[in-house]
Chain A
Amino acid sequence: MSLKRNIAVLDPSEIIFSGLKQIISASAQVSGFDHLRSVTDLERLLVRKNLSALIVNPAFVEHNQKYFTGLRNSEQSLRFAAIVSTFISPDTVAFFDEVIYVTDSSERVSAVVSRMLNSGEARRSGEDGDLSARELDVLRLLVTGLSNKQIADELNISINTVITHRKNITRKTGIRSVPGLTIFAVSKKIITLDLEAD
């Protein structure tokens, strides 16, 4: 029995919604595909339906930070993707699980949506301390002693993004220092260390 997956797009543009709909509706996994134009629309939808993924214009998140952070915390299985046509700041990027650019190919969009719909199980298991894939990447490099700049180069992202990921890691775990995060990573089996016997 296949799971009914509902996706919604929160963006005022009809062009963006139609384009996304055309690409994504082809996927067998998606049963509901709604166009929302305001946060109120979203609230109303959430009352009626279980949403698996929300593709949202980052401006909405930037202007309604408290609401979206609360939503993110309370809806553990809801995935967020940004739909970006102009510019998105690194701080805002950190909120999202995925980022879709209007210049992306339909293959990439399908792949992103597929990832969002299938990642529900992995995250709920809590094995990664609820860190996102990107945050895990940053954490792994951080505990090997790389600087922010080196991590940025390695992952092909900006230093600002690295810093944002670090902030989120600290926010989620309560640990800031590198040696502290190393202990966290070992305890979650994110890394293993060879320790000399004391």
Chain B
Amino acid sequence: MEKNNTVILGRDMQLFRMVTYNPGYLVMFRHFDILLPLHDHTVQSICAARGITTELFLTIASVYGGRTQALTGKPGRGDLPVLLAYLKRSHRYYQEEIYPDVAGRIAELNKKARSPEMQLVDRFFSEYYGEVKEHLDYEDTRVFPYVEALLNQPDDGGSSTDHEEFKVEEYKGHHSDIEQKLDDLINLLLKYVPGDEFQKQRRELYLLLVQLDYDLKAHSRIEDLIFIPLVESLEKKR
């Protein structure tokens, strides 16, 4: 999946064209609950129909295109509810759609290949997926409710005492650990795990992992570079 940094995304860009430039956008659309077929929708028309600001949509799309700078100042605190919904939907995608698919394929390969390396890969993936689930749960049960409570608070500065303090620094570190393990898995399967048989399964698994890796990295950047700064500004307001 190619990142496309050179195409300028604007309000008049048609959704289907975005996907032809970068297939990764298909999954991004899914996180926004934009489903196939895309019809003739433009960024402008779909945002108007769904109550999304074009600023939020285009900023997230540029992160998908590989952008990591100059992201703040465009989506505002008013975008947080939509952004929260986006992140929650992403989690459901990971937990209900893609990870079970990957886990199933690895288990299948392990059953068929019966090599020590494949056994270790199966184990490695289970441990890795366990960490991912822990992280997603942490966000679902701690972080997101905290942000929702902040959003629902009246502006009079009353503080909420029944939520744990949101430790941004610790939370940021989680992402890179998890990303590194997926990188390791991809490199291992591509370069070192032996076995000439099951080439089709290996290729399909590799492509799926690359897709997952791409989306996860975009997801982490969106959280680190857009979501967290917005939450911090919300906290400062109190």
Contacts and interface: CB of A to CB of B under 8 A. Distances in A.
Contacts of A179: 120, 123-124, 127, 184
Given A175-B187, A175-B188, A188-B192, A195 B120 contact: yes
A180 B119 contact: no
A182 B117 CA distance: 9
A177 B116 contact: no
B121 interface: yes
B226 to A, nearest CB: 27
A13 interface: no
A187 B193 contact: yes
Contact of A198 (B119, B180, B184, B185): B119
B30 to A, nearest CB: 29
A186 B116 contact: yes
A47 to B, nearest CB: 34
Given A186-B117, A187-B193, A176 B183 contact: yes
Contacts of B185: 180
A60 interface: no
Interface in B151-183: 180-181, 183
Contacts of B192: 129, 173, 183-184, 187-188
A12 interface: no
B191 interface: yes
A175 B122 CA distance: 16
B194 interface: yes
Contact of B122 (A192, A193, A198): A198
Nearest to A176: B180
Interface residues of B, number: 21
A189 B152 CA distance: 58
A160 B124 CA distance: 28
Interface size grouping (class) on chain A: 10 to 19
Contacts of A32: none
A129 B187 CA distance: 13
Contacts of B188: 175, 180, 183-184, 187
A176 B117 CA distance: 17
Contacts of A177: 180-181, 184
A174 interface: yes
Nearest to B181: A177
Nearest to B189: A183
Contacts of A187: 117, 188, 192-194
Interface in A152-198: 173-177, 179-180, 182-184, 186-188, 192-193, 195, 198
A193 B120 CA distance: 10
A4 B11 CA distance: 68
Contacts of B119: 195, 198
A186 B188 CA distance: 11
Interface string B95-120: 00000000000000010000011011
A195 B119 CA distance: 8
Interface string A15-51: 0000000000000000000000000000000000000
17 contacts: A173-B192, A176-B183, A176-B184, A177-B180, A177-B181, A177-B184, A179-B123, A179-B127, A179-B184, A180-B181, A180-B185, A183-B120, A183-B121, A183-B193, A184-B188, A193-B120, A195-B116
Interface of A: 129, 173-177, 179-180, 182-184, 186-188, 192-193, 195, 198
Interface of B: 110, 116-117, 119-124, 127, 180-181, 183-185, 187-188, 191-194
Given A183-B124, A195-B119, 13 more contacts: A175-B188, A177-B180, A179-B127, A179-B184, A180-B185, A183-B188, A183-B193, A187-B188, A188-B192, A192-B116, A195-B120, A198-B110, A198-B122
